[in-house]
Structure 1
Amino acid sequence: MYLLLGAVMGTLGGLFGIGGGLVAIPALGVLFGLDQQLAQGTALLMVLPNVLLALWRYNQRNRISVRNAMLLIVPSFIMSWLTSLWAVRIDPQSMRIGFVGFLVVLTLFNVIQMYWRKGQSGPQLRHGRWLWVLGLGSGVTAGMFGVGGGVIATPILTGIFGASQVAAQGLALALAAPATIITMTTYALHGHVDWRMGIPLAIGGLASISWGVALAHSLPERLLRSLFCVFLVICAIMLCFRV
């Protein structure tokens, strides 16, 4: 069962460039009754190999700028570590309510961004020198909620920095990889990882994430964004059943 669930999460992670954590967290909380920190830590164990494999696949198809990636990665890594040290001590119920609010805000931002009049996307990012600010913000959400790179960076990279959807998802995966490592390590050291559940989830995700990446490159950009918004709403509704 964990292998099959991991395969579904891996496919969605590859499709949306999020590693599968955003769907894993509400699924583990609702279906298996894990508290919020344990759900996030276990999801991170599944997400880490998925993120690394998806990053490799995206880089094969669309070469990721090392300079842009580093502007995102360094501040994100630092903030993920600091925020995760605080997150493991918060009341699980308060954390879950905060996570639902985070999903609602993110959904609204994505809907607005779909209809936001902006310039054409291109190979060069607009306002590229401000990428470090995005790295800081993504690091905070990664450390607090176990998700950051894909769900935060992707819509901002497309809406503000002018990246295409696929290029943004590749950069978001580069951002997510080191933040996921440090956040999972912090959660694990505080006993918030279920290894028995997380390892088969990770294996299932690794077996399927390439399908999601291939599907992402075959879909129209507007449809991909619409699916992402629907996906966020479903995750928020799932978590509301546990609040």
Structure 2
Amino acid sequence: MTVSYVVSGFAVGLLVGLTGVGGGSLMTPILTLLFGIHPSVAVGTDLAFASVTKVAGTVAHRSRGTVRWDIVRLLSLGALPAAVATALALKYLGGISAEIGQVIRYSIAVSVLLTVVALLFKGKLQHWLNAHPEKHLQGRKLTAATIFAGLVLGALVTMSSIGAGAVGATILVLLYPRLTPAEVAGTDIAYAVPLTAIAALGHWWLGSIDWNLLGALLLGSVPGITLGSLAARAVPEKFLRGLLALTLTSVAVKLIY
């Protein structure tokens, strides 16, 4: 079984490197559907996995100056308290009970569908906003919207481990359409580091992290991400994103039914 986990880590890493989509939208459903791992354990382990892998991405983006730390701070103001509150709620409700496991399973499905929407429509939304600058939020409204977006993402990520990738990037595009693609990616990764770390600590407190599974996933994902990043230019992006959107939609339907 360990070999299967390593192979899964490699496959997810490869797709993340090729498409830039967050690994949670792929890894958590795989662990839940393919390996039959309890949703809470799948979420907790994937959060620990993400908190480790995103640190390297943040270091790389910081060295290139593509992290907007002012936006990271605003997102964190909403996301970090929401992560703590969600972990406390899971503890109070019984984080690894069958009933809460089903709730988490549905939250994973919703998060996967949000990722599909982000994949398919982010470019069109960005184009529309660039053509209508009068629609851009400014000042206090922008600050409040960013903190609120962080709050929603914090709860979503803690419940499902999904949302800090494609969904978070799409929200950044909607709120800050003048950011470059590199700044969107760097800012999205940077705020996700403390968020996934705190959410992972919450799940460790709940007892829902499988450390052996985490090690196997990391062993496979590092070479997968490296290879995917190197091969990204050789594979048509539209084809990959379309295939990924179709796959994730099927996964969401399976999780619900």
TM-score w.r.t. length of structure 2: 0.78
Which amino acid is the alignment partner of residue 152 of structure 1?
V
Residue 104 of structure 2 aligns with which residue? 95
* Partner Cα separation in structure 1 for residue 73 and residue 211 of structure 2: 31
Structure showing the higher helix proportion among its residues: 2
> Which among 5, 9, 13 is matched to residue 12 of structure 2?
9
> How far did 1:109 drift?
5.0
Change (3 A) 1:145 1:229: farther
* Partner Cα separation in structure 2 for residue 224 and residue 166 of structure 1: 16
What do residues 104-162 of structure 1 show as CA deviations (whole Å, max 9, x unaligned)?
24423553443331217xxxx96453422221121111111112321321012123321
Secondary structure, aligned partner of 2:130: coil
Secondary structure, aligned partner of 1:42: helix
> How far did 1:55 drift?
2.1
Secondary structure, aligned partner of 1:57: helix
Which amino acid is the alignment partner of residue 36 of structure 2?
G
Secondary structure, aligned partner of 1:149: coil
> Which among 160, 167, 173 is matched to residue 152 of structure 1?
167
Unmatched 5+ residue regions in structure 1? none
* Partner Cα separation in structure 1 for residue 147 and residue 238 of structure 2: 24
Q: 8 Å contact 1:14–1:213 — kept in the other structure? A: yes
Please identify, of 126-135 and 49-58, the stretch whose mean Cα deviation from structure 2 is larger. Answer: 126-135
What do residues 28-54 of structure 1 show as CA deviations (whole Å, max 9, x unaligned)?
112211121111112122222111112
Residue 240 of structure 1 aligns with which residue? 253
* Partner Cα separation in structure 2 for residue 100 and residue 213 of structure 1: 27
Residue 24 of structure 2 aligns with which residue? 21
Please identify, of 9-18 and 150-159, the stretch whose mean Cα deviation from structure 2 is larger. Answer: 9-18
Q: 8 Å contact 2:66–2:182 — kept in the other structure? A: no
> How far did 1:188 drift?
1.6
* Partner Cα separation in structure 1 for residue 71 and residue 48 of structure 2: 26
Change (3 A) 1:206 1:87: farther
CA RMSD of aligned residues (A): 2.9
Aligned-pair identity (%): 21
What do residues 71-123 of structure 1 show as CA deviations (whole Å, max 9, x unaligned)?
22232111112113324635212321232133224423553443331217xxx
Change (3 A) 1:229 1:135: farther
Which amino acid is the alignment partner of residue 165 of structure 1?
P
Change (3 A) 1:126 1:7: farther
* Partner Cα separation in structure 1 for residue 176 and residue 50 of structure 2: 26
> Which among 182, 198, 209 is matched to residue 182 of structure 1?
198
Q: 8 Å contact 2:69–2:187 — kept in the other structure? A: no
Residue 30 of structure 1 aligns with which residue? 33
**Alignment map for 1:12-161 (pairs within 5 Å):** 12-17=15-20, 19-87=22-90, 89=95, 91-108=100-117, 110-116=119-125, 117-119=128-130, 127=138, 129=143, 130-161=145-176
Q: 8 Å contact 1:13–1:21 — kept in the other structure? A: no
Change (3 A) 1:19 1:156: closer
> How far did 1:219 drift?
8.3
TM-score w.r.t. length of structure 1: 0.82
* Partner Cα separation in structure 1 for residue 245 and residue 88 of structure 2: 26
Residue 208 of structure 1 aligns with which residue? 224
* Partner Cα separation in structure 2 for residue 138 and residue 194 of structure 1: 24
Q: 8 Å contact 1:80–1:179 — kept in the other structure? A: yes
Over alpha carbons, which structure has the higher Rg?
2
* Partner Cα separation in structure 1 for residue 137 and residue 18 of structure 2: 25
* Partner Cα separation in structure 1 for residue 7 and residue 14 of structure 2: 11
